[in-house]
Structure 1
Amino acid sequence: MTGPDIVIAPSILAADFANLAAEARAVEGAADWLHVDVMDNHFVPNLTIGPAVVASLRATTAIPFDCHLMIEDPKRWAPGYAELGAYNVTFHAEACADPVALARDLRAAGSKAGLAIDRDTPVEPYLELLPHFDTLLIMTIKAGFGGQRFLPELLDKVRLARRHADAGHLELRIEVDGGIADDTIAAAAEAGADAFVAGTAVYGASDPAEACRKLRALARAATR
């Protein structure tokens, strides 16, 4: 695995949208990625931000962007986020007819490629596609809204994916998104996740950078 052993990715969905640039800078030096939730009010019943906001925010911080597209028709839109400079662009398996082709398009456009699996979607049908991806994002809530309760039973998907990735010697990040906080990150790390999206646990804290450092320490301690 290249890069840090543990990736902490604060979600700007939990940040103050009136001060996004300042919120991004608040975790510089402590976060590895900035998780950017893109929702279209079609694939999920919520509407957040799009390419124009991502382009503006990209110019304000050096933190790599981890764009999570909860949208219909990712084939049309996803490469544009790579072209804007996103480090990793993740789209949902449920929204894409040919995930492998879109992964190739993303890499050609300059980003890593991620595949997301929602709460009610089994991971087994997608295990054989994982060599074509850099990141597998497993939702530990239902995609669409922040602040939901972590569902520990979904870690069975993480365990299965980690066993498959290790058996195949894959260079794959397994990312978890939903309800990650001080009291849940250890279980996710023990299950095999190595990238963690945290919203309110970071941006609801008085010191977001220190919250990132604490989450990292808890994840590392759980895997020693």
Structure 2
Amino acid sequence: MRNVKISPSILSADLGNLAGDLEKISNADFIHIDVMDGHFTPNLTFGPEVVRVAKRVSNVPLDVHMMVSNPEESIDWYADAGADLITVHYEAATHLHRIVSRLHDKGVQAGVVLNPATPVCLLESIIDDLDMVLLMSVNPGFGGQKYIEATYAKLRELTALCKRHGVDPMIEVDGGVGMGNIEQIVAAGANVLVAGSAVFGSQDPAQAVFDLREAGTRGIAKQNA
């Protein structure tokens, strides 16, 4: 089991002081950047310039989540802007293997995202090629939503799929993650946790990152018990 990693989402950051907020989470493992196009999701967020700025002001690796239609048309923008890892939605990617190969050719880690209603079994033919699988534990589009409890069963199913294939991609969960459930989420199989309001909504974001990681680490012990 890999160490637990925390990926604070800048969807909950103060965009008027992005550099300052990123400095507050310099102890994070990733910076999570949600890219929404107003089509695949009902919200519209960050272009590649935000990735470029984050890369310039922070040394924390950039975890770019592409919630867009036709991701093959725009992944190069974000890879070239400095993304370290890019995840695309299974539901939006017509040529998934091509996208993953393209990202790897550019030296970027590649992952696939599943919406809450998308079954894990659809990853059977791509799992061997992935650096990360991201399970959405809310329906994508907005921060601050409640965690969907069925995600626990999907995590266990995904862990079993990886074991059958003999692979060990990072397993990320995004949506409704906080101190009240992170231990249980890790115990079910996750090792990268996206947290927005739980980090940037706290008085001390760096301490929140530390506390979430510590709570997640307790979940590893439960998984191995």
| TM-score (norm: length of structure 1) | 0.96
1:157 shift after superposition? 1.2
Tell me, yes or no, if structure 1 residue 10 matches structure 2 residue 8: yes
Work out whether residues 51 and 82 of structure 2, in 8 Å CA contact, stay in contact via their aligned partners in 1.
no
Cα deviation code 1:91-132 (max 9, x no counterpart): 101001121110000111121001000112112112331111
1:48 shift after superposition? 0.8
Work out whether residues 49 and 81 of structure 2, in 8 Å CA contact, stay in contact via their aligned partners in 1.
no
In 1, Cα distance between equivalents of 2:133 and 2:148: 18
| Match in the other structure for 2:60 | 63
| Match in the other structure for 1:22 | 20
Cα deviation code 1:60-110 (max 9, x no counterpart): 111100000101110011122122221100010100112111000011112
SS at match of 1:119: coil
* Total equivalences in the alignment: 221
Work out whether residues 37 and 69 of structure 2, in 8 Å CA contact, stay in contact via their aligned partners in 1.
yes
Work out whether residues 83 and 110 of structure 1, in 8 Å CA contact, stay in contact via their aligned partners in 2.
no
Work out whether residues 85 and 110 of structure 1, in 8 Å CA contact, stay in contact via their aligned partners in 2.
no
SS at match of 1:67: strand
Cα deviation code 1:153-209 (max 9, x no counterpart): 122111111111123221300100000000011111011000000000000000001
1:215 shift after superposition? 0.5
Structure 1 segments of 4 or more deviating over 4 A? none
Tell me, yes or no, if structure 1 residue 139 matches structure 2 residue 136: yes
In 2, Cα distance between equivalents of 1:174 and 1:200: 21
Tell me, yes or no, if structure 1 residue 72 matches structure 2 residue 48: no
Name the % identity: 36
1:11 shift after superposition? 0.3
Counterpart mapping for 1:68-107 below 5 A: 68-107=65-104
In 2, Cα distance between equivalents of 1:96 and 1:128: 14
Unmatched tracts of structure 2, length 5 or more: none
SS at match of 1:128: coil
| Match in the other structure for 2:218 | 221
SS at match of 2:126: helix
Tell me, yes or no, if structure 1 residue 126 matches structure 2 residue 123: yes
Work out whether residues 27 and 212 of structure 1, in 8 Å CA contact, stay in contact via their aligned partners in 2.
yes
In 1, Cα distance between equivalents of 2:94 and 2:9: 27
Question: RMSD in angstroms over aligned alpha carbons?
Answer: 1.1
Aligned residue type for 1:87: D
Work out whether residues 40 and 72 of structure 1, in 8 Å CA contact, stay in contact via their aligned partners in 2.
yes
In 1, Cα distance between equivalents of 2:102 and 2:7: 24
| TM-score (norm: length of structure 2) | 0.95
In 1, Cα distance between equivalents of 2:164 and 2:93: 26
| Match in the other structure for 1:53 | 50
